[in-house]
Amino acid sequence: GAVVSQHPSWVICKSGTSVKIECRSLDFQATTMFWYRQFPKQSLMLMATSNEGSKATYEQGVEKDKFLINHASLTLSTLTVTSAHPEDSSFYICSATPRAARGELFFGEGSRLTVL
């Protein structure tokens, strides 16, 4: 089946540093990628929708200067958490919709960010 890979799967960083998380569709071209964050025992919260070659659309309350999203190719989207703070510690998940099957939605395995 279709695979969406996230890297890194976990990362620990110091407060004030920036962290980049990659989301790759390994065997399909993704027209749209979604980024979510999830706090413990809570549901997924959509952060932004990213279409290849265009600017990401952010959900209300999500700071676009804080969470930089780049969707430079049909197989790669990146989320950069800038000047990370402890409250940014969370589980970040991406999902992707194949160009050839817009009704499908495949999730990555998630990336756990811990900011010290």
Partner 1 sequence: KNQVEQSPQSLIILEGKNCTLQCNYTVSPFSNLRWYKQDTGRGPVSLTIMTFSENTKSNGRYTATLDADTKQSSLHITASQLSDSASYMCVVRGGSYIPTFGRGTSLIVHP
Residues that bind partner 1 (CB under 8 A): 4, 6, 32, 34, 41, 43-44, 46, 49, 91, 93, 95, 97, 102-110, 112
Output 2 or 68, the one with its CB closest to partner 1.
2
Which CB sits closer to partner 1, 81 or 108? 108
106-107 and 76-81 strand pairing: unpaired
**Nearer to partner 1 among residue 14 and residue 41 (C-beta):** 41
Least Å distance between CB 105 and partner 1?
A: 6
DSSP strands (E only) in the chain: 4-7, 10-13, 19-25, 30-38, 45-51, 57-58, 67-73, 76-81, 90-98, 106-107, 111-115
Q: How far is the CB of 24 from partner 1 (least distance, A)?
A: 13
Could you tell me the smallest distance in angstroms from the CB atom of residue 107 to partner 1?
4
- The DSSP symbol for 59 reads P
Q: Tokens 């919260």, residue? A: 45
Minimum CB separation from partner 1 for residue 110, in Å? 5
Q: From 8, 4, 30, select the one nearest 19 (Cα to Cα).
A: 8
Nearer to partner 1, 59 or 83 (CB): 59
